[in-house]
Chain A
Amino acid sequence: MISAGELKVGGTYSDGEIRGLTVDLQRPSVTPLFVGQLPDVVIKTVPYLFTLCAAAQRSAAQAAVNAALGEAPAALASRELWVEFLHESLWRLLLDWPAAVGLPPAREAFTAWRGQRNDDDAAAATLTLIDAVLQPLAEACLQRLPADAALPGNIDVLPELAAEAWLAYWQGTADQRPAATPPSSVGMAYRQRLEMVRRAAAALVEKTPYLLARAGGDGWGVGQCLTARGMLTHAVHVVDGRVARYCVRAPTDQLFADSLALRGVLAGRGFATLADAQEALDQAILALDPCLPYTLEVQYA
C-alpha cells in the first residue's frame, strides 16, 4: 500500500539564528496511474485520489484534457470550488493559526460552518462567520505575529495564471516552469489568506466564476486552477487517443522543493532562544501551508 508521503524540515540554532535549513519532501507520484489511459478516465479518477482539493484537481484535469483535445471548456463548478477554497482557508485561520500563536482555536464555529457549507445559505453563513468570529480572531492573531517592517497598501493575493508559459515548458520550448511568488513574511502570508477569504466569500455571494486557465492543442494541454495554497497545474500529452505523459504540479511541490521559500519567509529575523526559533519555524511552515503532515527538528549547532 502506498503512503501519503511526508515532509521533514530541519536546521540548527546558533548565535540567535537558524542555520543550515533543510527541507525534504517525499510524496508518491500518482501520474503513473494515468499513462496509457483514455483522457476521460483520468478526469474521473483524479477526484478519488485527493483529499483536500478534489474539485480543483478535477477542474484542472478537465481543463488540461479539453485543451489538449481542442474541446470546448466544460462547465465550471464555481460554487463547489469556492466552498472547497474556503474550507481549507478557514481551517487554517480558525484552527491552525490560533493554535500556532497560543490562542484557542474556533473549533465549534468552524464545525458549524462546515456543516452548512453546502446549504443554500452557505454564502450568508460564511459572511456571518467572517464578521462574528474570524475578524476578531484575526486581529488577536496578528497582534501575536511578528510585525512586518513595511506592508504594501494593497495586498496582492491572487497567484498568476500562466497556462501558456507552462505549455511552453511542457512542450520543451521553455527551460523553466513558471514560478509563483511565495509570501515575503509570516505576517504577509496571514494577511494574504485573510484577504483571499474575504474575496472568496464575496465571490460566493456574487456567483463569480472560479479562477481557471487552460492552454494547448494538438494533444498538448495545460490546465490551471486556484487552490487555497496557490495555483495547481495539470499538464497532459495525449497521443493516439491515450495519455502518454501527465504531470501535476501543486503549490506544496514548489514551496517545499527546497528551503528557499522558508528562508525567504524568515529572512532578517533573529531568535533569543532555541524555543523561539522552533516556534518561528513552525509558523513559517504554516505560512507556506504544506498539504501533508510535517516533522520539524531544530537543534543547537
Chain B
Amino acid sequence: MCLAIPAQVVELRPDDNALVDLAGVRKEISLALVEGVAVGDYVIVHVGYALNRLDPDEAEKTLKLFAELGQLPDSGEPIVH
C-alpha cells in the first residue's frame, strides 16, 4: 500500500515472517528487508514486506493522523496517491 499506516508486530514467525495488526486486520508479512524487529514494534508494510521500523512516537503521531482522517468528510477532490 502506498499510505504509510503503521502496523504493529504481534507475533514473530519462522522463516523471517511476522504477524502484524494493520488497522485491526491481522496478516502475515516478511521481515526479510528489516533487521531487529521485535513484538510490539511498529513497521510500515508494502506488498507483504515490512519496509522499515518506526519510532514509537512517530508511529503514534501517524496513527493519530489517519484516525483524524477517518473522521473527516471526503474533499471531493481527485483521489490522492
Contact = CB atoms under 8 A, between A and B. Distances in A.
Interface of A: 1-5, 25, 27-33, 35, 45, 48-54, 57, 107, 111, 114, 232, 245-250, 252-253, 291-293
A232 B1 contact: no
B72 A33 contact: yes
A32 B80 CA distance: 11
Main secondary structure on A side of the interface with B: mixed
Contacts of B1: 4-5, 51, 291-293
A253 B77 contact: no
Interface of B: 1-5, 23-24, 32-33, 44-47, 51, 58, 61-63, 65-70, 72-75, 77-81
A112 to B, nearest CB: 11
B75 A35 contact: yes
Contact of A2 (B45, B47, B66, B78): B66
A52 B65 contact: no
8 contacts: A1-B63, A2-B67, A4-B1, A4-B5, A27-B3, A51-B3, A114-B33, A253-B79
A48 B62 contact: yes
Given A35-B75, A50-B81, A52-B46, 9 more contacts: A4-B2, A28-B70, A32-B75, A49-B62, A49-B66, A52-B2, A57-B81, A232-B81, A293-B47
